[in-house]
């Protein structure tokens, strides 16, 4: 089943299979995503905010929580390299 990921304020939308990482969806939409660790969840530079559809993303894992704490990332952000989508969502990042 495909889901829609809406990136704001870029105004880009992309349909991806359920279970796709937010990072991969953003790249498919042609949007840059900050990452210094090769998308291994270590640098926490790929932080995004879920504007709508929080129930449509994977649950936060202990590894994601730790990466955000170590890198002093706001706990309300999610790491695009660690979060999958299972329904329609709207996402933003400071670098779009």
Domain ranges of the chain: 2-92
**Measured distance CA(51)–CA(78) in Å, rounded:** 11
Q: Which residues contact 56 (CB under 8 A, 6 or more apart)?
A: 3, 85, 86, 87, 88, 89
Residue 39 pLDDT greater than 90, yes or no: no
Average pLDDT over residues 22-51: 90
| Cβ proximity of 48 and 78 under 8 Å | yes
Average pLDDT over residues 25-52: 90
Q: What pLDDT score was predicted for residue 41? A: 82
Residue 67 pLDDT greater than 90, yes or no: yes
Q: Which CATH class is domain 2-92?
A: alpha beta
């Amino acid at each position: 089943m495909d889901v829609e990921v809406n990136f704001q304020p870029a105004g880009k939308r992309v349909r991806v299979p359920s279970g796709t990482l937010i990072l991969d969806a953003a790249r498919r939409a042609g949007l840059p995503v900050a990452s210094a660790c090769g998308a291994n969840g270590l640098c926490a530079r790929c932080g995004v905010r879920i504007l709508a559809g929080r129930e449509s993303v994977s649950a936060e894992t202990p590894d994601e929580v730790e990466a955000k704490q170590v890198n002093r990332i706001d706990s309300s952000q999610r790491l695009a390299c660690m979060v999958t989508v299972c329904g329609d969502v709207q996402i933003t990042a400071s670098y779009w």
